[in-house]
Chain A
Amino acid sequence: MSLIKCDQVSLSYGSHRALDCLSFTVESGGPVALVGPNGAGKTSLFSCLCGYQRPDSGSISVLGHAPGSAALAGRLAALPQDAKLDARFSIKAQLTYFARLQGMSAKQAQTEAMRVLALVDLEGIADKQPSELSHGMNKRVSIAQALLGNPELVLLDEPTAGLDPANTKAIRELIKSLKDQTQFMISSHNLDELEKLCSSVLYIDKGQLTKSMAVESADAGVSYLTLKMMNADDQTLLPALERLTGVSKVEQTAAGEFVLQTQPRQGHQLESEVLQLLSAHGWQYRMLLNGRTLEDSLFSASS
């Protein structure tokens, strides 16, 4: 059974087409990244998957059920973008309430509320109200509510938006620690973060799915080597890289950043030649990556 199946899903807000005949399938596996520019339809897609709104046409199946189905309670959870908890109740009271709605007894619900708060390192604020917390803390609490009852599928819409780097890393580590028992689908603009976390990517633009790929996939018959420089004369370095053995093409993706396209290779001969070239000119590199970044995979001219 597919985790998520969307078939020709369309949704419009007035004259604006938010989702346009979108079709894709998500099977169980590692976390899935949902990427796209602002206004691409990511949040609209999540809203349809969670049952917050119905699409104008097409069909959606989540864990074998229609979105919003009672059968999904406790199995599907989500971090809705910009949703606020009730300002009148403490965090613990609300999480306990949610857990009780999922079928737990009062005592079980209280224990579960504290467990998920511990996962996001916020046990100490359980008795505080949302208005007493910072934006980052509220975001972490919202992530915690999505983990109540160990759901099978969790949709996270911009989980690290507005979080400082330390909290971003903590959330990333949390998702990594849970990914064996929970399937995540994560919408984010932070490609570096998604690259560290996700095993596949869905790229949406103007409401349509334009790319679906594995994060670490290699194109048939092609390998890549990514080089990021601290200091270098790009105009001299580029032709020098093109002359290296086995390099078929070099693309400069940004100042000081190069992606070398090669035949599939064994060993580290090319890496040695690159390092010797840099050493000969006294150039310092920042990063040498076997493969290419998610950003380059999605947006380079050759992708």
Chain B
Amino acid sequence: MTNQTIIPRPASLWLIAQFELRKALSGTRGLIGLGAFILCWLVLLIYPIGSAANWLSQPGFIDMVRAFTEGQANEILSWKVPEMAMFWVLALYLFPLSVLMVSADMFATDRQQGTLRFLLQRASRHEIFWGRLLGHLILQTLLIALAIAATLLMAMLRQADTLAAGLQQALWVLPALVINALPYLALMALLSVVCRSSRMSILWAIIILLLGGLVIQLLTYNLPILSFMTDIIPGSQLSAMINTKGAGVLGHILIPVIQSLLLLAAGAIIFWRKRL
């Protein structure tokens, strides 16, 4: 393996990514997954997003919330399309959760069943690792774009002339949500390389995110000098991202980008060395 090509071949990367997309979206399992996603967002759109948009479109309600939050929600309240504002708040937390579910089995089952051995005869370990990651990244981007499109449609049903403003907001929201989901994708890539099953990958993700976050909170509370550790766990920047607007939604991308790079480097190295 010492002579293996470090730089993946683009054609192989793309083929592997395409196959991952087909795996996620086709067949009975894929269609059920897609159906569940659509159903969840339909319920969210009709109830929290649809209802909240009605309230947020009333000036009196906005003034009341501004007073209640002491100005801490000024940015989010000033979004031109209230449906997009509500979508933003929900999506910040829900899409990372969907990544944990959807990408938990990037490598685990195929590694245990020996399926990866068929691929290893035709593609390098780097191509398999980065190709599958690319496929999952494209999948998450498509799902986010689909949810944004549905939200914009909902907004247009309420008020027909919201499309232009909504698209402008979507221009920033889409990349921000994709980058926000990236550390979770990287974490699941790493865990599915290490764990024997998708179930164990999800369990360990929960332990790392919840228990790890709790431990770090306790440590930083007692030792403020360790406050930098709050940026170790994916999601540390989420609450700060809520009250942003326009290009400002991309103002906190540095932390998730660094987290992603570190997690992906660890995953790639382990996958390079692991017995498959």
Total interface residues on B, CB under 8 Å, equals: 30
Interface flags, B99-133, vs A, CB<8A=1, else 0: 00000000000100111011111111100000000
The answer to whether A97 touches B19 (Cβ under 8 A) is yes
The answer to whether B118 touches A83 (Cβ under 8 A) is yes
The answer to whether B5 touches A50 (Cβ under 8 A) is no
The answer to whether B1 touches A66 (Cβ under 8 A) is yes
Our pick among B16, B27, B119, B276 for the contact of A53 (Cβ within 8 Å) is B276
A72 to B15, CA, bound (A): 19
What B residues does A69 contact at CB under 8 A? 1, 3-5
A73 to B1, CA, bound (A): 13
Interface flags, A279-293, vs B, CB<8A=1, else 0: 000000000000000
A31 to B154, CA, bound (A): 67
Interface flags, A44-64, vs B, CB<8A=1, else 0: 000100111110000000000
- Taking the closest CB of chain A, its distance from the CB of B158, in whole angstroms, is 40
Give the interface residue-count category, chain A: 20 to 34
Asked, given contacts A83-B114, A97-B15, whether A68 binds B124 with beta carbons under 8 Å apart, the answer is yes
- Taking the closest CB of chain A, its distance from the CB of B269, in whole angstroms, is 14
- Taking the closest CB of chain B, its distance from the CB of A280, in whole angstroms, is 58
The yes or no answer to B222 lying at the interface (CB within 8 A) is no
Asked, given contacts A68-B124, A88-B27, A88-B29, whether A52 binds B117 with beta carbons under 8 Å apart, the answer is yes
- Taking the closest CB of chain B, its distance from the CB of A133, in whole angstroms, is 15
Interface flags, A67-95, vs B, CB<8A=1, else 0: 11111111011101011111011000010
- Taking the closest CB of chain B, its distance from the CB of A279, in whole angstroms, is 55
Our pick among B3, B4, B124, B276 for the contact of A52 (Cβ within 8 Å) is B276
Asked, given contacts A66-B3, A69-B3, whether A83 binds B120 with beta carbons under 8 Å apart, the answer is no
What B residues does A47 contact at CB under 8 A? 275
A66 to B122, CA, bound (A): 14
Most buried by B among A68, A83, A88: A68
What A residues does B15 contact at CB under 8 A? 97, 100-101
Interface flags, B1-15, vs A, CB<8A=1, else 0: 111110001001001
A86 to B16, CA, bound (A): 14
What A residues does B22 contact at CB under 8 A? 89
The answer to whether A80 touches B275 (Cβ under 8 A) is no
- Taking the closest CB of chain A, its distance from the CB of B3, in whole angstroms, is 4
Asked, given contacts A53-B276, A80-B117, whether A86 binds B123 with beta carbons under 8 Å apart, the answer is no
What A residues does B199 contact at CB under 8 A? none
The answer to whether B276 touches A102 (Cβ under 8 A) is no
Our pick among B16, B27, B114, B122 for the contact of A73 (Cβ within 8 Å) is B122
Interface residues of B (CB under 8 A from A): 1-5, 9, 12, 15-16, 19, 22-23, 27, 29, 110, 113-115, 117-125, 273, 275-276
Q: List 23 A-B contacts (CB under 8 A).
A: A47-B275, A51-B4, A53-B275, A65-B3, A66-B1, A66-B4, A69-B3, A71-B3, A73-B123, A80-B114, A80-B118, A82-B114, A83-B113, A83-B114, A83-B118, A84-B114, A85-B118, A86-B23, A86-B110, A97-B19, A98-B118, A100-B15, A101-B119
